[in-house]
Amino acid sequence: KNEVEQSPQNLTAQEGEFITINCSYSVGISALHWLQQHPGGGIVSLFMLSSGKKKHGRLIATINIQEKHSSLHITASHPRDSAVYICAVIADKLIFGTGTRLQVFP
Amino acid sequence: GAVVSQHPSRVICKSGTSVKIECRSLDFQATTMFWYRQFPKQSLMLMATSNEGSKATYEQGVEKDKFLINHASLTLSTLTVTSAHPEDSSFYICSASRGAQPQHFGDGTRLSIL
């Protein structure tokens, strides 16, 4: 079993839909990253959070340390949101989930 | 935000050659740089962690003589894949951080060995 599990693995949505990606982890962490990887491969860090909730534009990330769970929400999704979203936890090193491939259709 | 530049973005070379990949932090001094490898549709895997001025720490299973890492300054780390073979073909990505600050990722290098 992976130390960081993401669900769903693949997700398709219609433009405008509300999207949720989940991340569960089994190790002790100091913080958690949500990353976005575009088809070309480049990675952008969306959030780093250790408690509560953060919001940036249409993106919201929450974390529940007690339940070892985090969610990434995208409101009013758009085709340009299509990417792989990766959850990564900071334990003794950065441990990555396998990613969620999101496709948003117009 | 912080910018990490990785070069080249793509390289194709013959088996047996050595390939150097550069990772630069453009607007901050990176005390630590990380090198990752990613196979298609798989998660990133940490290869090694390098701190400026000291030897890199390699993850289990990563050959240090095969993947040479140099972190000579606070803004530059290099990964050299020596005597590359087709099985070394992969996507290599670096990241840089300063202290406890978040890691900032480069755009990656797609390496293809013929």
In this prediction, what percent of chain A has a pLDDT beyond 70?
99
pLDDT at B100 over 80: no
- At residue B90 the predicted structure's pLDDT band, cuts being 50, 70 and 90, is very high
Q: Is A39 on the interface with B (CB under 8 A)?
A: no
Shortest alpha-carbon distance between residue B107 and chain A (Å)? 4
Residue B78's DSSP bridge partners are B22, B70
Report pLDDT digits (tens) over A54-105: 999 999 999 999 999 999 999 999 999 999 999 999 888 889 998 999 999 9
- At residue B1 the predicted structure's pLDDT band, cuts being 50, 70 and 90, is low
Q: Is A43 on the interface with B (CB under 8 A)?
A: yes
Query: Positive or negative CA dihedral for B92, B74, B98, B50?
Result: positive
Of B1 and A35, the one with more pLDDT: A35
Instruction: Please state, in angstroms and rounded to a whole number, the distance separating the CA atoms of residues B84 and A70.
Output: 39
CA A17 to chain centre: 16
- Cβ pair B49:A42 closer than 8 A: no
Tokens for B16, please give them. Answer: 């047996």
- Cβ pair A96:B91 closer than 8 A: no
Per-residue burial over B64-90, b if 16 or more Cβ lie within 10 Å, else e, is: eeebbbebeebbbbbbebeebeeebbb
Instruction: Please state, in angstroms and rounded to a whole number, the distance separating the CA atoms of residues B80 and B99.
Output: 25
- The mean predicted confidence, pLDDT, of chain A is 94
Q: Is A46 on the interface with B (CB under 8 A)?
A: no
- Cβ pair B107:A94 closer than 8 A: no
Check residue A57 and give its pLDDT: 96
Report pLDDT digits (tens) over B19-53: 999 999 998 898 899 999 988 878 889 999 998 87
Which residue has tokens 């299973």?
B61
Tokens for A40, please give them. Answer: 């070309």
